[in-house]
């Protein structure tokens, strides 16, 4: 009887360990998918726009420079979370990605890709810390994302202003640029959800 109780307790400890690991993996997955979120950030959902990336990139860069915002596009290719960004040093959440506040020298070269996987590193040695190796998160410039001219401007973008006071002005400018209503920009679309 003592052996049965010991075996049962050992199995309970093992299963409890699996549950705890699964819980942390799930939390880490959610954190990676929304890693750029701050108290001031908001998402826009661009769909059916006639604007091309060639026109959108200078528009986003101008907004970033003038309004002190960072803009992050999120995609989920294969088993990866891909974040493509136009950074403004004043608003980018460095600590969310690198767990340091003082990493203000990223993307001097627009081809650099930062990753949570050391084997996937290209042109950099900076890694993004994660709980487990999978899924991989990669951070690259939005210019690098659109460099092959094979992608549309449609997608999910997180806008990260330094403060929340310009949100309505930003939404109006983006609405005018993309030719969409503010309501359409703020409404998640079916294709915006992650494929599971």
| pTM confidence score | 0.79
Instruction: Give the side-chain half-sphere CA count within 13 A for 94.
Output: 13
Q: For residue 36, how far is the Cα from the chain centroid?
A: 5
| Strand pairing category for 113-115 and 136-141 | antiparallel
Which domain covers residue 179, as residue numbers?
A: 34-192
Quick one: tokens of 195? 């494929």
Q: Is residue 111 part of a domain?
A: yes
Output phi, psi for 117, to 5 deg.
Answer: -105, 125
Residues whose CB is less than 8 angstroms from the CB of residue 3 and which lie 6 or more positions away in sequence, other chains included = none
Name residue 75's beta-bridge partners: 82
Q: What is the pLDDT along the chain (196 residues), one digit of tens a residue?
A: 888 989 889 999 999 988 988 888 777 777 777 778 888 889 999 988 889 999 999 999 999 999 999 999 998 888 788 889 998 888 888 777 776 666 566 766 767 777 777 665 555 556 776 766 667 788 888 988 898 877 888 999 999 998 878 889 899 999 999 999 999 999 887 554 454 3
- Sheet (strand 113-115) strand order: 42-46, 155-161, 69-75, 80-86, 136-141, 113-115
Q: Is residue 10 part of a domain?
A: no
Q: Is residue 140 part of a domain?
A: yes
State the Cα–Cα distance between residues 124 and 129, nearest whole angstrom.
15
Q: Is residue 17 part of a domain?
A: no
Q: Is residue 41 part of a domain?
A: yes
Nearest to 97 by CA among 10, 15, 38: 38
Q: Is residue 138 part of a domain?
A: yes
State the Cα–Cα distance between residues 48 and 190, nearest whole angstrom.
13
Q: Is residue 40 part of a domain?
A: yes
Residue 171: count other Cβ atoms within 10 Å of its Cβ.
18
State the Cα–Cα distance between residues 106 and 27, nearest whole angstrom.
27
- Position of tokens 């991989």? 136
Q: Would you state the pLDDT for residue 14?
A: 92
- 3-state class of 85 per DSSP? strand
Domain count, the chain: 1
């Amino acid at each position: 009887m003592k052996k049965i109780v010991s075996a049962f307790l050992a199995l309970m400890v093992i299963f409890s360990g699996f549950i705890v690991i699964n819980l942390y993996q799930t939390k880490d997955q959610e954190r990676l998918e929304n890693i750029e979120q701050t108290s001031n950030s908001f998402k826009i959902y661009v769909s059916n726009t006639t604007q091309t990336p060639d026109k959108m990139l200078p528009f986003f860069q101008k907004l970033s420079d003038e309004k002190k915002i960072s803009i992050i596009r999120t995609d989920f290719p294969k088993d990866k979370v891909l974040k493509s960004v136009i950074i403004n040093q004043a608003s980018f959440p460095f600590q969310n990605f690198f767990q340091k506040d003082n990493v203000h020298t990223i993307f001097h070269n627009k081809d650099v890709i930062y990753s949570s996987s050391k084997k996937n590193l290209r042109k950099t040695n900076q890694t993004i810390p994660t709980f487990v190796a999978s899924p991989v998160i990669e951070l690259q410039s939005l210019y690098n994302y659109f460099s092959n001219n094979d992608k549309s401007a449609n997608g999910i973008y997180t806008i990260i202003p330094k403060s929340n006071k310009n949100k309505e002005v930003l939404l109006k400018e983006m609405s005018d640029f993309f030719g969409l209503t503010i309501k359409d920009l703020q409404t998640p679309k079916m294709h915006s959800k992650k494929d599971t």
